[in-house]
Amino acid sequence: MTIPRVEVITSVERRRHWSRAEKERLVAASLEPGVTVSEVARSAGLHVSQLFRWRKQLCTRIDAPPAPESQALVPVQIVPD
């Protein structure tokens, strides 16, 4: 008679919470010359797509045109000639 193999799970895996400072540090490291995003993500134990998402959230394009101040409507007054 063979006994079936039993797997015992001893802990619950939870999502890690990354502080803004940690995200900024990792994003900055991924922007260093000669460094790949994959290397930084692997060393921190996170998925590459997560690091790309943080880069998108934390970085702004330098060559992007400035955003308009507001898109508010301006009142118009019509006067007779």
Q: Which residues contact 51 (CB under 8 A, 6 or more apart)?
A: 26, 27, 30, 37, 40, 41, 44
Q: Total domain count for the chain?
A: 1
Two tokens, residue 34: 């000669």
pLDDT per residue of the chain (81 residues) written in tens, 0 to 9: 677 777 776 666 677 888 999 999 999 999 999 999 999 999 998 999 999 999 998 886 655 566 666 667 788 888 988
Q: Answer whether residue 57 is part of any domain.
A: yes
Q: Answer whether residue 58 is part of any domain.
A: yes
Q: Answer whether residue 70 is part of any domain.
A: no
Q: Answer whether residue 25 is part of any domain.
A: yes
Q: Tell if the pTM clears 0.95, that is, is over it.
A: no
Q: Answer whether residue 5 is part of any domain.
A: no
The pLDDT value recorded for residue 67 is 61
Two tokens, residue 43: 């060393």
Q: Answer whether residue 1 is part of any domain.
A: no
Domain residues for 39?
A: 20-63
Q: Answer whether residue 38 is part of any domain.
A: yes
